[in-house]
Amino acid sequence: MSDTNGTVLVTGGTGFLGGWCIASLLQRGYEVRTTVRDRGREQAVRDAVAAAGAADGSRLSVHAADLTSDAGWTDAVAGCRYVLHVASPFPPVQPKDPDELIVPARDGALRVLGAALDAGVERVVMTSSIAAIRSDRESSTSAPYTEADWTDGDDSSGTPYVRSKTLAEQAAWEHVRAAGAEARLATINPGAIIGPALNDDHSYSLQAIQRLVDGMPAAPRLGFTFVDVRDVADLHILAMTDPAAGAQRFIATDEFLWMAEVAAVLRERLGDAARKVPTRTAPNLLIRAMAIFDPSVRSVIGDLGKRSWFSSEKARSTLGWTPRPVGDSIEECARSLL
């Protein structure tokens, strides 16, 4: 396919979603640029994109730029028609100082957005999260969270990650409103992203599947609203090109499953390869005790036993988005990790 579509910048090319976005764009015939903090990671990006099935990497170029610095962004966006701002910090352990996450997420989004608007980019699609949507009100099957809901980013009881996603997205919308350029921004708010891993650099959502496959003693009473990484990449591209997506947020979620239900899918689909997957559910008290010693467990304590409902109807009806069955995503994710 020839390049009739223009050039797209994807920030965060070393990430799980970034890699799939790059591959999806290349498969659709776009010229693609991506940014990395360290040029030494270029080969890792190319290997991941090849693993995603984009055999021809000749239309991919790699630029050095960091969310914490102005350097490199003007060159990275020059001549681009679209920008997918996917890069955002997501540490395995929440920092004690929330600003360690909030500042690079918020300031980085404003750097990318400012450079893109100055360069005449037609649309920026920014990856946010359902973390920025889960407001104080109770959700239910009849009244799920929608794009009209917002998390309180100033609530200091929220985790640094939740606050960083919320404040970064709010800052982006404030920036385009002030610039009179709202139609040039769209945001995607995905749930827990799973699917085929491209390398050994696993996101937090993939680690949840990995721990089940590796044989944790029992599944915690935690649940996630899952979505396939390939479907999230597709939604970014739909929002990038569809005029109806301008100035809009889109929730990207499919189905909520408890970890015990994920474990059941793994046992059903993987057979002997799932022999270590736990069959029991861990008492909340045990998980709370583990959190004393394991900082990575500590950040999810507040979600034990809690379920939230989100509606992705807007993405489906406005953009024609159709995510694949979550059971297929869980199976393919696990097989890639194995």
- Closest alpha carbon to 224 in 238, 207, 205, 210: 205
Q: What's the token pair of residue 122? A: 């037609």
Tell me how far the alpha carbon of residue 157 is from its chain's centroid.
23
Distances in whole angstroms, Cα of residue 72 to Cα of each of 12, 84, 123, 174:
14, 16, 20, 24
Q: What's the token pair of residue 72? A: 């490199």
Let me know if 165 is a catalytic residue: yes
Catalytic residue among 165, 276, 306, 314: 165
What amino acid occupies position 38?
Answer: D
> SS3 letters for 232-283?
HHHHHHHHHHCHHHCCEEEEECCEEEEHHHHHHHHHHHHHHHHCCCCCCECC
> In angstroms, how far is the first alpha carbon of the chain from the final one?
34
Instruction: Round to whole Å and give the CA distance between 67 and 138.
Output: 35
Tell me how far the alpha carbon of residue 202 is from its chain's centroid.
12
Q: Say how many C-beta atoms besides its own lie within 10 A of residue 303's C-beta.
A: 15
Strand order in the sheet with 192-194: 192-194, 223-228, 255-258
- Closest alpha carbon to 240 in 297, 187, 164: 187
Tell me how far the alpha carbon of residue 111 is from its chain's centroid.
19
What amino acid occupies position 266?
Answer: L
What kind and span of H or E run contains 139? Answer: none
Instruction: Round to whole Å and give the CA distance between 130 and 202.
Output: 20
Distances in whole angstroms, Cα of residue 30 to Cα of each of 16, 61, 77, 100:
19, 12, 15, 35
Catalytic site positions: 165
